[in-house]
């Protein structure tokens, strides 16, 4: 049977393309199809390592999870990871190609068409349905030449397009009509319908505007999706996640430093599932306050983000919390910042060759040219007490993405022993913990997704506060996400014309 496909494009970034792609992947899976997501080019600092040790965008990993299939770099053959305002690291088929400026990449992009075609064909050979996702807007007319991610990709795949508009930000009718107006005649023919996303209120009030919009753009509105608070990693909601805080009245506060080149902020989503935790992101210039756990996240430019912490007055606040005995955790780049020295002899991330770290761990980091990308299984081996007591001997799993190697001094202990790397048995050290047991660093992304590990640390803090231990309401983060994918699919099914969606998928004209 010929592979069926459809493509979701948006009037702008952050209109909900990624989440709706995940929703359709789950819906088609529920309906008995082998389905895969596809985004030819993704620009994001959130990435994931496949079982082969290849790097891809996390948004497509989420969509693959929703589809119930193993994530593959064929689903995201080109990943761009910004390193500065004007440069990014270009990753092709899961491996670093090189760093490029925007101008260099624009000139290089046409050479990626064959890579994109090859990847899409691999999926066509293996799946019944492919749900493609665009990037930004197809009406960026200055980028039309050599486009490989919006209408250019739709043409390569010969895929019908559904256009998504975000009503929550205002101006949804103008953005949908204006986008259609800026498309070429051939491009407009590909757009078979529109979806209005993130609606709050009474749909009846919207209906007169919908009828007028359909008269203008000559294609149907397929559905109006309500604003929904599902706990699924959503690349499009990045700005909202850092801007708004949810205070649940929990007894434990976890603060994460928001740094300019933050990567893999999804490491901390699990805290939102714990009823006694308030998760808060701290920007430069804001007060860290007095959290129970302070986390320095991963970074795509560790040295520049360390300088940022100093310039914004955050370093002294970190040191104050350390003196108070609070738990300070560094993940990947954050782990490197906790050490005494960071060196970049090859200019891998910065033009600065050496910088002093925060000095909270007796470790030194040296950046190298080759990136470490691997899935791992490990065991906590450090002798621990206090806040970290009870996690020794626990099994954890996750993945590593980093350019540097970190060397331990005499005043700290290795945190973990990696027993399995990409399916091969190993005995390698990871991370470090100080002698007092209140500063912890690791290269393992997703370490907090291991619920027993995370819950043990939280319960140690509860005991220090004179509170009883609390059991997590979820046994595993993976099972929790599965329920959320089903909930998302249910919301979309209830608010969209699935008969017309299947008509579009089957190449029919809908009205």
Active site members: 332, 445
| Region of residue 76 (left: phi > 0; alpha: psi -120 to 50; beta: else) | beta
Residue 425 near residue 419 (C-beta atoms within 8 A): yes
Residue 223 corresponds to which tokens in the numbers above? 């559905």
Residue 184's contacts (CB-CB under 8 Å, 6 or more residues apart) are none
Residue 127 near residue 119 (C-beta atoms within 8 A): no
Residue 270's contacts (CB-CB under 8 Å, 6 or more residues apart) are 448, 449, 451, 454, 477
Q: Which of 345, 338, 341, 307 is nearest to 434 (CA)?
A: 338
List Cα–Cα distances, 207 to 77, 214, 287, in angstroms: 40, 11, 46
Beta partners for residue 35, in sequence order: 129
Task: Spell out the alpha helix ranges (H) of 292-368.
Answer: 302-311, 314-323, 333-338
Residue 320 corresponds to which tokens in the numbers above? 């104050």
List Cα–Cα distances, 429 to 363, 391, 403, in angstroms: 13, 16, 16
Residue 175 corresponds to which tokens in the numbers above? 């953005």
Residue 250 corresponds to which tokens in the numbers above? 């929990």
Residue where the block lists tokens 């693959």: 64
Residue 296 near residue 334 (C-beta atoms within 8 A): yes
Helix pair 314-323, 302-311: axis angle to 10 deg: 90
């Amino acid at each position: 049977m010929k592979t069926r496909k459809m493509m979701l494009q948006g009037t702008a970034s952050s209109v909900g393309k990624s989440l709706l792609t995940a929703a359709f992947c789950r819906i088609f899976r529920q309906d008995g199809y082998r389905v895969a997501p596809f985004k030819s080019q993704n620009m994001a600092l959130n990435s994931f390592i496949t079982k082969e040790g290849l790097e891809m965008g996390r948004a497509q990993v989420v969509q693959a999870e929703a589809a119930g299939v193993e994530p593959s770099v064929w689903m995201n053959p080109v990943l761009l990871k910004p390193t500065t305002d004007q440069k990014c690291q270009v990753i092709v088929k899961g491996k670093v190609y090189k760093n490029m400026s925007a101008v260099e990449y624009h000139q290089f992009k046409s050479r990626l068409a064959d890579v994109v075609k090859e990847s899409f064909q691999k999926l066509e050979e293996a799946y019944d349905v492919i749900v493609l996702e665009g990037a930004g807007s197809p009406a960026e007319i200055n980028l039309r030449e050599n486009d490989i991610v919006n209408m250019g990709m739709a043409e390569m795949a010969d895929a019908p397009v559904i256009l998504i508009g975000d009503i929550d930000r205002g101006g949804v009718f103008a953005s949908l009509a204006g986008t259609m107006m800026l498309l070429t005649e051939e491009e407009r023919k590909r757009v078979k319908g529109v979806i209005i996303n993130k609606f709050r209120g009474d749909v009846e009030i919207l209906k007169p505007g919908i009828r007028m919009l359909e008269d203008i753009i000559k294609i149907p509105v397929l559905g109006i999706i309500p604003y929904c608070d599902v706990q699924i990693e959503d690349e499009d909601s990045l700005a909202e996640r850092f801007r708004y805080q949810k205070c649940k009245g929990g007894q434990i506060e976890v603060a994460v430093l928001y740094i300019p080149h933050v990567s893999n902020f999804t490491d901390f989503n699990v805290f939102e599932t714990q009823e006694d935790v308030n998760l808060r992101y701290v920007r430069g210039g804001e007060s860290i306050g007095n959290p129970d756990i302070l986390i320095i996240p991963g970074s795509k430019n560790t040295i520049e983000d360390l300088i940022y912490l100093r310039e914004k007055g955050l370093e002294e606040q970190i040191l104050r919390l350390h003196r108070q005995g609070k738990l300070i955790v560094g993940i990947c780049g954050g782990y490197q910042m906790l050490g005494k020295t960071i060196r970049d002899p090859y200019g891998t991330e910065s033009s600065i060759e050496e910088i002093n770290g925060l000095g909270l761990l007796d470790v030194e980091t040296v950046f190298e040219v080759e990136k470490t990308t691997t899935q791992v299984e490990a065991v906590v081996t450090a002798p621990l007490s206090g806040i970290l007591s009870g996690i020794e001997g626990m099994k954890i799993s996750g993945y590593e993405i980093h350019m540097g190697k970190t060397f331990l001094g005499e005043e700290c202990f290795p945190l973990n022993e990696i027993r399995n790397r990409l399916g091969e048995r190993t005995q390698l050290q990871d991370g470090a913990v100080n002698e007092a047991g209140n500063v912890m660093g690791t290269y393992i992304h997703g370490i907090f997704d291991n619920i027993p590990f995370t819950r043990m640390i939280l319960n140690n803090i509860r005991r220090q506060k004179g509170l009883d231990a609390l059991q997590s309401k979820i046994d595993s983060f993976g099972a929790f996400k599965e329920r959320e994918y089903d909930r998302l699919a249910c919301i979309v099914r209830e608010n969209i014309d699935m008969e017309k969606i299947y008509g579009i998928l089957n190449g029919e004209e809908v009205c």
